[in-house]
Amino acid sequence: MPPRRDNSKFIQGDSDSDISIDDDADFVKGKGKGKATDRRKKDGKGKGKAKDTLAYTWEASYTRSWETVQEDEAGSLQSSVDDWMARGRRRRLLAPSTAIRRTIIRHLILLLDLSASMMDRDMRPTRFDLMLQYAREFVAEWFDQNPLGQIGVVGMRAGIGERIGEMSGNPQEVLKSIADRHKMEPTGEPSLQNSIEMARSSMSHLPTHSSREIIIIFGSLTTCDPGNIHDTLDACIKAKIRVSVVALAAEMKICRDLCEKTGGQFGVALNEGHFRDLLFELIPPPAQQAMTRSAAGSRATNPSADLMLMGFPTRLPDTSPPSLCVCHSEIKSEGFLCPRCLAKVCDVPTDCDICGLMIVSSPHLARSYHHLFPVKGYDAV
């Protein structure tokens, strides 16, 4: 990447001053004088080069995006835009088109950093506002592609983990929990351990056929923990929780470890668009890993491939006599009837509040199905 190379060059130029201070020190000590002058000569060259290309520090990080865009003969930018979109499509084509075993019943905790560092303005308008905006888009898209999944929201601020939204399969409910930005005003230090423990405890009751995932949007470079965070990491591995981190500042060793050891993804966002890409890459259901890769040849490579009970509900017409629903105790005429206990629930998919049966509608199942058997890549004609 050209801007990065420029950057390193500039750092070289910048470090000139450090070296010259060193030289002075050498001079005072009265030794290595020749060496120092040699170095000075070299530095002089480096400085000149840096000055040719860059006049100010901020130029190093500045990408001249307009220079990569080419107009066609008519002065239109359409061809550039088409090219850009074709590139995105090509990347999608590279995705594997064979059937992979994936978890389609997903449980996800979205862990939002609400510490003071989220008020940084290196992403516009602030990291915090951008995170909320992307989190909302993410939730909507996630439920669209994973209709059988559930999302809970946990925030980390002032050294503790804070439950913001209960685990729910209803996108509106999740969106409502992160709609009010004033309730989530960033303060204090984040605590990775406290908030991961909170997320872990809210997923401990889940059955083995569903996935357990934590996605952390992390803007800080510190974490203040009450104990050893590596114990938490071990507990996550044991509970088969997959942790993914989207960092907004820089890479932290513990974040990288969390992701690599639990099979998640780690990424540092370079800019606003990259942040969104990193987040949205986490939407398709992850491939299920063979748990016993070390015990090769054993038949235990397909863990928990058992059947599960699902009920297809009866939809009540809007004209049916109103009755109480079991989820909110509200009188309504529309709703769905659990096929086993005939309790009335407002939304599907959900777990029946009375008998615990998982209630899904067949379109939801069908929509999850395409992740398991993806469409083959098209041949360009």
Interface ranges with Zn ion (CB under 5 A): 325, 327-328, 338, 340-341, 343, 346, 352, 354-355, 357
- Cα–Cα nearest to 282, from 109, 91, 127, 165: 109
Which amino acid, residue 53? T
- Pick 237 or 346: Cβ nearer Zn ion: 346
Q: In the complex, what is the shortest distance from the CB of residue 352 to Zn ion, in angstroms, rounded to a whole number?
A: 3
3-state secondary structure of 334: coil
- Pick 142 or 336: Cβ nearer Zn ion: 336
- Pick 273 or 317: Cβ nearer Zn ion: 317
- Pick 252 or 357: Cβ nearer Zn ion: 357
- Pick 127 or 344: Cβ nearer Zn ion: 344
Q: Is 209 exposed, middle or buried (0-12, 13-18, 19+ CB in 10 A)?
A: middle
C-alpha distance from residue 336 to each of 32, 144, 326, 361 (Å)? 86, 20, 11, 10
Q: In the complex, what is the shortest distance from the CB of residue 354 to Zn ion, in angstroms, rounded to a whole number?
A: 5
Helix axes 192-201, 229-238, angle to 10 degrees: 30
- Cα–Cα nearest to 68, from 2, 166, 167: 2
Q: In the complex, what is the shortest distance from the CB of residue 338 to Zn ion, in angstroms, rounded to a whole number?
A: 3
- Pick 85 or 342: Cβ nearer Zn ion: 342
3-state secondary structure of 307: coil
Q: In the complex, what is the shortest distance from the CB of residue 315 to Zn ion, in angstroms, rounded to a whole number?
A: 14
- Pick 175 or 341: Cβ nearer Zn ion: 341
Q: In the complex, what is the shortest distance from the CB of residue 353 to Zn ion, in angstroms, rounded to a whole number?
A: 8
Burial 52-80 (b: 16+ CB within 10 A, else e): eebeeeeebeeeeeeeeeeeeeeeeeeee
Q: In the complex, what is the shortest distance from the CB of residue 172 to Zn ion, in angstroms, rounded to a whole number?
A: 12
- Pick 86 or 342: Cβ nearer Zn ion: 342
| Sign of the CA dihedral with 14 first, then 17, 23, and 25 last | negative
Q: In the complex, what is the shortest distance from the CB of residue 110 to Zn ion, in angstroms, rounded to a whole number?
A: 24
Q: Which two tokens stand for residue 373?
A: 């058997």
The CA distance from 107 to 206, in Å, is: 8
Q: In the complex, what is the shortest distance from the CB of residue 327 to Zn ion, in angstroms, rounded to a whole number?
A: 3
| Sign of the CA dihedral with 25 first, then 27, 33, and 36 last | positive
